[in-house]
Amino acid sequence: MTEAAPRRRERRWTPEMGAWSGLALTGPLILMLLLFVAWPVMQVAIDSVEGGAVLDNYRVFFTDPSARKILLTTLGLSLVVTVLAVVLGGFYAWALRTVRSPWLRAALWLSALVPFWMSTIVKTYAFTILLGRRGIVNTLLDPFLAQPLDMLYTNGAVVVGMLYSMLPYAVLPLFVSFLTIDPDMGKAAQTLGASRTRAATSVLFPLAVPGLVATASIVFVITLGFYITPVLLGGPRSAFMATLVNQQIFTAFDYPGAAASAVVLIVVALITLAVAIRLVGRERLTRAVA
Protein backbone atom coordinates (compact mmCIF):
# COMPACT_ATOMS: atom_id res chain seq x y z
CA MET A 1 0.00 0.00 0.00
CA THR A 2 1.58 3.18 -1.17
CA GLU A 3 1.84 6.10 1.17
CA ALA A 4 -0.43 9.02 0.30
CA ALA A 5 1.34 11.99 -1.21
CA PRO A 6 1.72 14.92 1.18
CA ARG A 7 -0.96 17.54 0.78
CA ARG A 8 0.01 20.74 -0.89
CA ARG A 9 -0.02 23.64 1.49
CA GLU A 10 -2.67 26.06 0.33
CA ARG A 11 -1.71 29.68 0.20
CA ARG A 12 -3.84 31.81 2.45
CA TRP A 13 -5.35 34.92 0.90
CA THR A 14 -4.13 38.16 2.41
CA PRO A 15 -5.37 41.68 1.65
CA GLU A 16 -1.79 42.96 1.44
CA MET A 17 -0.43 43.22 -2.07
CA GLY A 18 2.96 41.75 -2.86
CA ALA A 19 5.92 43.96 -3.71
CA TRP A 20 6.09 42.85 -7.35
CA SER A 21 2.34 43.21 -7.86
CA GLY A 22 2.39 46.69 -6.40
CA LEU A 23 5.33 47.66 -8.58
CA ALA A 24 3.59 46.31 -11.69
CA LEU A 25 0.45 48.33 -10.96
CA THR A 26 2.24 51.55 -10.03
CA GLY A 27 4.91 51.22 -12.72
CA PRO A 28 2.98 53.11 -15.45
CA LEU A 29 2.16 55.91 -13.01
CA ILE A 30 5.79 56.17 -11.88
CA LEU A 31 6.91 56.24 -15.52
CA MET A 32 4.43 59.02 -16.35
CA LEU A 33 5.57 61.05 -13.34
CA LEU A 34 9.18 60.71 -14.40
CA LEU A 35 8.49 61.61 -18.04
CA PHE A 36 5.93 64.39 -17.61
CA VAL A 37 6.81 65.88 -14.19
CA ALA A 38 10.33 65.07 -13.00
CA TRP A 39 12.12 65.35 -16.33
CA PRO A 40 10.50 68.67 -17.43
CA VAL A 41 11.22 70.23 -14.01
CA MET A 42 14.84 69.07 -14.19
CA GLN A 43 15.13 70.46 -17.73
CA VAL A 44 13.74 73.83 -16.63
CA ALA A 45 16.23 73.91 -13.74
CA ILE A 46 19.09 73.12 -16.14
CA ASP A 47 17.96 75.80 -18.62
CA SER A 48 17.78 78.38 -15.82
CA VAL A 49 21.58 78.26 -15.31
CA GLU A 50 22.46 78.62 -18.99
CA GLY A 51 23.37 81.76 -20.91
CA GLY A 52 26.02 83.12 -18.55
CA ALA A 53 27.27 82.48 -15.03
CA VAL A 54 25.61 79.71 -13.07
CA LEU A 55 23.33 81.98 -11.02
CA ASP A 56 23.34 84.96 -13.38
CA ASN A 57 19.67 84.56 -14.38
CA TYR A 58 18.60 84.43 -10.73
CA ARG A 59 20.69 87.53 -9.96
CA VAL A 60 18.96 89.35 -12.80
CA PHE A 61 15.57 88.26 -11.50
CA PHE A 62 16.08 89.39 -7.90
CA THR A 63 17.76 92.67 -8.89
CA ASP A 64 14.99 93.61 -11.31
CA PRO A 65 12.44 95.82 -9.46
CA SER A 66 9.59 94.83 -11.79
CA ALA A 67 10.27 91.10 -11.32
CA ARG A 68 10.39 91.50 -7.54
CA LYS A 69 7.14 93.46 -7.60
CA ILE A 70 5.45 90.77 -9.70
CA LEU A 71 6.68 88.08 -7.30
CA LEU A 72 5.36 90.01 -4.28
CA THR A 73 2.04 90.63 -6.07
CA THR A 74 1.72 86.93 -6.83
CA LEU A 75 2.51 85.90 -3.25
CA GLY A 76 0.32 88.57 -1.67
CA LEU A 77 -2.81 88.02 -3.75
CA SER A 78 -2.38 84.23 -3.56
CA LEU A 79 -2.18 84.47 0.23
CA VAL A 80 -5.33 86.61 0.38
CA VAL A 81 -7.21 84.18 -1.85
CA THR A 82 -5.97 81.24 0.23
CA VAL A 83 -7.16 82.75 3.53
CA LEU A 84 -10.57 83.68 2.11
CA ALA A 85 -10.99 80.30 0.40
CA VAL A 86 -10.13 78.35 3.56
CA VAL A 87 -12.40 80.47 5.78
CA LEU A 88 -15.39 80.50 3.42
CA GLY A 89 -14.77 76.93 2.30
CA GLY A 90 -14.58 75.82 5.93
CA PHE A 91 -18.02 77.19 6.76
CA TYR A 92 -19.39 75.80 3.49
CA ALA A 93 -17.89 72.34 4.04
CA TRP A 94 -19.17 72.22 7.61
CA ALA A 95 -22.64 73.12 6.37
CA LEU A 96 -22.41 70.24 3.89
CA ARG A 97 -21.30 67.97 6.74
CA THR A 98 -24.10 68.87 9.14
CA VAL A 99 -27.09 69.90 7.02
CA ARG A 100 -30.08 67.57 7.36
CA SER A 101 -32.31 68.61 4.48
CA PRO A 102 -31.51 66.58 1.33
CA TRP A 103 -32.75 69.40 -0.90
CA LEU A 104 -30.54 71.97 0.79
CA ARG A 105 -27.59 69.58 0.64
CA ALA A 106 -28.19 69.02 -3.08
CA ALA A 107 -28.33 72.78 -3.65
CA LEU A 108 -25.08 73.27 -1.73
CA TRP A 109 -23.34 70.52 -3.69
CA LEU A 110 -24.59 71.96 -6.96
CA SER A 111 -23.31 75.45 -6.19
CA ALA A 112 -19.96 74.02 -5.06
CA LEU A 113 -19.47 71.94 -8.21
CA VAL A 114 -20.69 74.46 -10.80
CA PRO A 115 -17.26 76.18 -11.02
CA PHE A 116 -15.76 72.79 -11.93
CA TRP A 117 -18.11 72.52 -14.89
CA MET A 118 -17.16 75.91 -16.33
CA SER A 119 -13.96 76.74 -18.16
CA THR A 120 -11.65 79.37 -16.72
CA ILE A 121 -12.22 81.73 -19.64
CA VAL A 122 -16.01 81.56 -19.26
CA LYS A 123 -15.82 82.24 -15.52
CA THR A 124 -13.40 85.13 -15.99
CA TYR A 125 -15.43 86.77 -18.76
CA ALA A 126 -18.51 86.44 -16.55
CA PHE A 127 -16.77 88.59 -13.95
CA THR A 128 -15.82 91.18 -16.58
CA ILE A 129 -19.55 91.51 -17.27
CA LEU A 130 -20.36 91.71 -13.57
CA LEU A 131 -17.63 94.16 -12.54
CA GLY A 132 -17.39 96.46 -15.58
CA ARG A 133 -18.31 100.15 -15.44
CA ARG A 134 -21.56 99.26 -17.21
CA GLY A 135 -21.80 95.84 -15.62
CA ILE A 136 -24.50 94.32 -13.49
CA VAL A 137 -23.01 95.43 -10.15
CA ASN A 138 -22.67 99.07 -11.20
CA THR A 139 -26.17 98.99 -12.71
CA LEU A 140 -27.63 97.84 -9.39
CA LEU A 141 -25.64 100.46 -7.45
CA ASP A 142 -26.30 103.29 -9.92
CA PRO A 143 -29.13 104.91 -7.87
CA PHE A 144 -26.82 105.19 -4.85
CA LEU A 145 -23.60 106.33 -6.58
CA ALA A 146 -22.61 109.57 -8.26
CA GLN A 147 -20.45 107.69 -10.78
CA PRO A 148 -19.73 104.04 -11.57
CA LEU A 149 -17.15 102.21 -9.49
CA ASP A 150 -13.87 101.15 -11.14
CA MET A 151 -13.89 97.55 -10.00
CA LEU A 152 -12.40 95.97 -13.11
CA TYR A 153 -8.62 95.88 -13.64
CA THR A 154 -7.91 96.01 -9.93
CA ASN A 155 -6.40 93.61 -7.42
CA GLY A 156 -9.84 93.23 -5.86
CA ALA A 157 -11.28 91.94 -9.12
CA VAL A 158 -8.42 89.43 -9.38
CA VAL A 159 -9.04 88.21 -5.84
CA VAL A 160 -12.78 87.77 -6.48
CA GLY A 161 -12.21 85.89 -9.74
CA MET A 162 -9.56 83.62 -8.28
CA LEU A 163 -11.61 83.02 -5.13
CA TYR A 164 -14.59 81.86 -7.17
CA SER A 165 -12.37 79.42 -9.07
CA MET A 166 -10.60 78.13 -5.95
CA LEU A 167 -13.56 77.66 -3.60
CA PRO A 168 -14.29 74.11 -4.83
CA TYR A 169 -10.63 73.21 -4.21
CA ALA A 170 -11.16 74.32 -0.61
CA VAL A 171 -14.64 72.90 -0.04
CA LEU A 172 -14.01 69.35 -1.26
CA PRO A 173 -10.84 68.55 0.79
CA LEU A 174 -12.33 70.21 3.86
CA PHE A 175 -15.54 68.23 3.51
CA VAL A 176 -13.52 64.99 3.37
CA SER A 177 -11.54 66.12 6.41
CA PHE A 178 -14.70 67.08 8.34
CA LEU A 179 -16.17 63.62 7.72
CA THR A 180 -13.70 62.32 10.31
CA ILE A 181 -15.02 64.77 12.93
CA ASP A 182 -18.11 63.82 14.90
CA PRO A 183 -20.34 66.90 15.36
CA ASP A 184 -21.68 65.36 18.56
CA MET A 185 -18.30 66.09 20.20
CA GLY A 186 -19.19 69.76 20.18
CA LYS A 187 -22.58 69.01 21.72
CA ALA A 188 -20.89 66.90 24.39
CA ALA A 189 -18.61 69.81 25.25
CA GLN A 190 -21.65 72.09 25.55
CA THR A 191 -23.36 69.66 27.92
CA LEU A 192 -20.24 69.86 30.12
CA GLY A 193 -20.61 73.62 30.40
CA ALA A 194 -18.67 74.98 27.41
CA SER A 195 -20.24 77.68 25.31
CA ARG A 196 -20.89 77.06 21.63
CA THR A 197 -17.88 79.20 20.67
CA ARG A 198 -15.65 77.50 23.26
CA ALA A 199 -16.72 74.06 22.06
CA ALA A 200 -15.97 74.99 18.45
CA THR A 201 -12.56 76.52 19.17
CA SER A 202 -11.29 74.07 21.79
CA VAL A 203 -12.77 70.77 20.57
CA LEU A 204 -13.68 70.90 16.88
CA PHE A 205 -11.08 73.33 15.58
CA PRO A 206 -7.98 71.35 16.75
CA LEU A 207 -9.36 68.28 14.99
CA ALA A 208 -9.80 70.28 11.79
CA VAL A 209 -6.31 71.84 11.78
CA PRO A 210 -4.65 69.17 9.58
CA GLY A 211 -7.40 69.51 6.98
CA LEU A 212 -7.22 73.31 7.08
CA VAL A 213 -3.43 73.33 6.64
CA ALA A 214 -3.57 70.77 3.83
CA THR A 215 -6.31 72.71 2.05
CA ALA A 216 -4.46 76.01 2.46
CA SER A 217 -1.30 74.54 0.95
CA ILE A 218 -3.25 73.10 -2.00
CA VAL A 219 -5.05 76.37 -2.71
CA PHE A 220 -1.93 78.51 -2.33
CA VAL A 221 0.18 76.34 -4.65
CA ILE A 222 -2.52 76.34 -7.33
CA THR A 223 -3.11 80.10 -7.15
CA LEU A 224 0.60 80.76 -7.68
CA GLY A 225 0.25 79.57 -11.27
CA PHE A 226 -2.83 81.59 -12.28
CA TYR A 227 -2.51 83.27 -15.68
CA ILE A 228 -5.84 83.99 -17.41
CA THR A 229 -7.66 85.52 -14.42
CA PRO A 230 -4.98 88.14 -13.56
CA VAL A 231 -4.63 89.10 -17.24
CA LEU A 232 -8.36 89.58 -17.90
CA LEU A 233 -9.45 90.99 -14.53
CA GLY A 234 -6.33 92.73 -13.27
CA GLY A 235 -4.57 94.06 -16.33
CA PRO A 236 -0.93 95.21 -16.19
CA ARG A 237 -1.20 96.28 -12.54
CA SER A 238 -1.91 92.72 -11.36
CA ALA A 239 0.70 90.82 -13.37
CA PHE A 240 1.41 87.36 -11.97
CA MET A 241 4.53 85.23 -12.31
CA ALA A 242 2.90 83.21 -15.09
CA THR A 243 2.42 86.46 -17.01
CA LEU A 244 6.09 87.33 -16.52
CA VAL A 245 7.20 83.92 -17.79
CA ASN A 246 4.96 84.31 -20.84
CA GLN A 247 6.45 87.74 -21.61
CA GLN A 248 10.01 86.50 -21.16
CA ILE A 249 9.43 83.64 -23.61
CA PHE A 250 7.27 85.22 -26.33
CA THR A 251 8.20 88.92 -26.07
CA ALA A 252 11.79 89.11 -24.82
CA PHE A 253 12.76 85.64 -26.15
CA ASP A 254 14.67 85.13 -22.90
CA TYR A 255 14.12 81.44 -22.26
CA PRO A 256 16.85 81.07 -19.57
CA GLY A 257 15.33 84.03 -17.71
CA ALA A 258 11.86 82.49 -18.02
CA ALA A 259 13.24 79.20 -16.71
CA ALA A 260 14.74 81.01 -13.70
CA SER A 261 11.39 82.68 -12.98
CA ALA A 262 9.65 79.31 -13.22
CA VAL A 263 12.17 77.73 -10.85
CA VAL A 264 11.56 80.52 -8.32
CA LEU A 265 7.85 79.73 -8.47
CA ILE A 266 8.51 75.98 -8.07
CA VAL A 267 10.75 76.63 -5.07
CA VAL A 268 8.04 78.76 -3.42
CA ALA A 269 5.54 75.92 -3.94
CA LEU A 270 7.95 73.35 -2.47
CA ILE A 271 8.63 75.59 0.55
CA THR A 272 4.87 75.91 1.08
CA LEU A 273 4.44 72.13 1.10
CA ALA A 274 7.47 71.70 3.40
CA VAL A 275 6.02 74.21 5.88
CA ALA A 276 2.66 72.42 5.80
CA ILE A 277 4.35 69.07 6.48
CA ARG A 278 6.38 70.65 9.27
CA LEU A 279 3.29 72.10 10.92
CA VAL A 280 1.06 69.03 11.00
CA GLY A 281 3.29 66.13 9.96
CA ARG A 282 3.30 64.22 6.71
CA GLU A 283 1.06 61.41 7.97
CA ARG A 284 -1.69 63.72 9.25
CA LEU A 285 -1.39 65.90 6.13
CA THR A 286 -1.78 62.88 3.86
CA ARG A 287 -4.71 61.58 5.91
CA ALA A 288 -6.43 64.97 5.73
CA VAL A 289 -6.57 64.99 1.92
CA ALA A 290 -6.84 61.24 1.31
Q: Which of 75, 90, 112 is nearest to 209 (CA)?
A: 90
pLDDT of 290 > 70? The answer is no
pLDDT of 14 > 80? The answer is no
pLDDT of residue 21: 76
| Per-residue pLDDT reduced to its tens digit, 243-283 | 899 888 888 888 899 999 999 999 999 999 888 888 777 66
The listed range with the strongest mean pLDDT (36-40, 76-80, 240-244) is 76-80
Domain that holds residue 138: 41-289
Task: Classify residue 15: in a domain, yes or no.
Answer: no
Task: Classify residue 191: in a domain, yes or no.
Answer: yes
Task: Classify residue 3: in a domain, yes or no.
Answer: no
| Per-residue pLDDT reduced to its tens digit, 52-97 | 667 888 998 999 999 999 999 999 999 999 999 999 999 999 999 8
pLDDT of residue 73: 92
Q: Report the pLDDT averaged over residues 226-255.
A: 87
Task: Classify residue 24: in a domain, yes or no.
Answer: no
Average pLDDT over the chain reads 84
Task: Classify residue 16: in a domain, yes or no.
Answer: no
Confidence of residue 195 (pLDDT cuts 50, 70, 90): confident
Task: Classify residue 18: in a domain, yes or no.
Answer: no
pLDDT of 286 > 80? The answer is no
How many independent structural domains does the chain possess? 1
Q: What is the pTM of this model?
A: 0.85
CATH number of the domain at 219, please: 1.10.3720.10
| Per-residue pLDDT reduced to its tens digit, 118-162 | 888 888 888 888 888 888 888 888 788 778 888 888 888 999 999
If DSSP states are collapsed to H, E and C, what string results for the chain? CCCCCCCCCCCCCCCCCCHHHHHHHHHHHHHHHHHHHHHHHHHHHHHCCCCCCCCHHHHHHHHCHHHHHHHHHHHHHHHHHHHHHHHHHHHHHHHHHHCCCHHHHHHHHHHHHHHHHCCHHHHHHHHHHHHCCCCHHHHHHHHHCCCCCCCCCCHHHHHHHHHHHHHHHHHHHHHHHHCCCCCHHHHHHHHCCCCHHHHHHHHHHHHHHHHHHHHHHHHHHHHHCCCHHHHHHHHHHHCCHHHHHHHHHHCCCCHHHHHHHHHHHHHHHHHHHHHHHHHHCHHHHHHHHC
Q: Report the pLDDT averaged over residues 17-44.
A: 85
pLDDT of residue 147: 81
CA distance 45 to 41: 6
Task: Classify residue 23: in a domain, yes or no.
Answer: no
Task: Classify residue 220: in a domain, yes or no.
Answer: yes
